[in-house]
Amino acid sequence: EVKPEELTKITTGDRFSRHHIYKVVFKEWHMVEPASAGHSFELQDYYDHPENYRGVFEQYIPHLDVLVNAIYWTERYPRLLTKAYLKEQFGGPETPRLRVIGDISCDVEGAVECTVKSTEPGDPVYVYDPVTGAVVDGHEG
């Protein structure tokens, strides 16, 4: 297991093997920060007043190949990953590292906004094109 703060060492350094899978567990304070300068993160305040926080999780996305999301989310909370961010990243000249998103919570257009539909056990996968917004069932694409 790797701490979120160590992600850049994995992707840019030679300390870690490219032939291993590293698990990173993100806590709430990795995903959001207070919207007002001078305030510090307080977990209960975040739960009670999520409108006072903004999402900062996207800073980690350039260092991830796979993202598995399983958090509780409602519209009151900031998103982890937005369609706009993905469109910007995948529409640019360089291909991002991120290849797979497993959104176990499956909140349609929720914390992971590109979860645009739910799936069935017999057909559990689709490909979302961040540039066009197109969705294709299966894993080709």
- Of the CA atoms within 13 Å of residue 129, those in its CB half-sphere come to 9
How many separate domains does the chain show? Answer: 1
Question: pTM for the full model?
Answer: 0.88
Q: pLDDT tens for residues 20-61?
A: 888 999 999 999 999 999 999 999 999 999 999 999 999 999
Instruction: Place 12 in a pLDDT band, splitting at 50, 70 and 90.
Output: confident
What is the C-alpha separation between 6 and 16, in angstroms, rounded? 10
pLDDT above 70 (res 141): no
Q: pLDDT tens for residues 56-85?
A: 999 999 999 999 999 989 999 999 999 999
* Structural domain containing residue 127: 4-137
Helix (H, G, I), strand (E, B) or coil at 90: helix
What is the C-alpha separation between 133 and 121, in angstroms, rounded? 23
